[in-house]
Amino acid sequence: MAVRTVIVESETEKYLQDEADRLDRLDDVYRALEWLLARNPEMGEQIPDWDPPKYLLKSINWQSIPFRLTLLYRFTNEEVFIEFARIEET
């Protein structure tokens, strides 16, 4: 299994860092999604009519975590590019 390099847009990375200061476990949830994307980026939901194709991946709802993290990304054979992140508090 090939493991792709994950690259995060600078504004997205700053947003995630700022939110991690306020939301416990955000870094854990993000790292889990990043691990999955590096190994299987096809698992996300492809957004129709985008060229190059882009995908969404959402974290699952956990009782102990009061938010969901959604990532917008694209990928090549070697890299995954995370372009946007959104946090929805539940």
The residue ranges of every structural domain in the chain are 24-79
Greatest C-alpha distance within the chain: 37
Share of the chain above pLDDT 90, in %: 87
Angle between helices 10-20 and 26-39 (to 10 degrees): 140
Q: What is the pTM of this model?
A: 0.93
Tokens matching residue 89: 């508090």
What's the mean pLDDT when you consider all of the chain? 95
**For residues 45 and 5, what is the distance between their CA atoms, to the nearest angstrom?**
20
Contacts of 4 (CB under 8 A, 6+ apart): 37, 38, 39, 41, 75, 76, 77, 78, 79, 80
